[in-house]
């Protein structure tokens, strides 16, 4: 039987088990002692939140292929004042490194009062900060940060909170997981993940 884990990745941890030469970042090996699992999708070392790890290569491919359109939800603390124009730009898609992103879901949210990050984010007293909830169906390199920068809202803190399996059930999320903690998927979650690998027609259009 395959192994699939949900991990709340803290700041400063690479989404891999081997260290990068010369890097000061820690790795998954510092938190997870289950051999043979690999991240299904990545989070940058300076990002936090939900990471799915599995030893099932088909599941890894299914969850990361943008053709299937799994929505990923993020809480994003930004510098500046969120405007409706900025939100509409994110919803339409913005140009990132010469290519337009797929349309996103984006809305302003109240401060979610997350636990303090270690190390804390930098604050500039004269620059306001605000929070966004952003959902994407693709995972290009540093995409959320580049998208918010493109609309004049530099990202200060980024946390992935959920991954939608697109099967009508609740998304996988961080419920009950403190930063640095992990758990095996529940029997119900396992059944849903197995069902994703059954023949089910064509993937959704991007």
Query: Which string of b and e fits 10-33 if b means at least 16 CB within 10 Å?
Result: bbbbbbebeeeeeeebebbeebbe
At 161 the three-state DSSP class reads strand
Positions annotated as catalytic residues are 44
**Distance, CA of 109 to CA of 89 (rounded, Å):** 17
**Residue 155 and residue 147: Cα distance in Å, rounded?**
9
Q: CA distances (Å), 183 to each of 29, 103, 108, 117, 173, in order?
A: 15, 32, 30, 21, 12
User: For tokens 């913005």, what's the residue?
Assistant: 94
State how far the Cα of 68 lies from the Cα of 202, in Å rounded to an integer: 8
């Amino acid at each position: 039987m395959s192994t699939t884990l949900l991990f709340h990745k803290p700041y400063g941890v690479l989404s891999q088990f081997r260290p990068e030469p010369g890097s000061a970042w820690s790795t998954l090996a510092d938190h997870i002692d289950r051999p043979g699992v690999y991240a299904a999708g990545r989070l940058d070392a300076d990002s936090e939140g939900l990471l799915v790890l599995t030893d099932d290569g088909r599941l890894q491919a299914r969850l990361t292929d943008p053709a299937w359109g799994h929505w990923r939800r993020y809480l994003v603390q930004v510098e500046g004042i969120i405007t409706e124009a900025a939100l509409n730009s994110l919803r339409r898609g913005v140009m990132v490194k010469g290519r337009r992103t797929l349309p996103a879901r984006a809305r302003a949210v109240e401060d979610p009062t997350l636990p303090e990050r270690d190390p804390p984010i930098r604050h500039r007293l004269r620059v306001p900060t605000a929070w966004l909830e952003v959902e994407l169906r693709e995972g290009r390199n540093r995409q959320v940060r580049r998208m918010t920068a493109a609309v004049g809202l530099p990202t200060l803190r980024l946390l992935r909170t959920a991954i939608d399996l697109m099967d009508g059930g609740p998304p996988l999320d961080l419920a009950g997981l403190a930063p640095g903690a992990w758990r095996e998927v529940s029997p119900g979650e396992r059944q849903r993940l197995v069902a994703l690998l059954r023949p089910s027609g064509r993937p959704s259009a991007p």
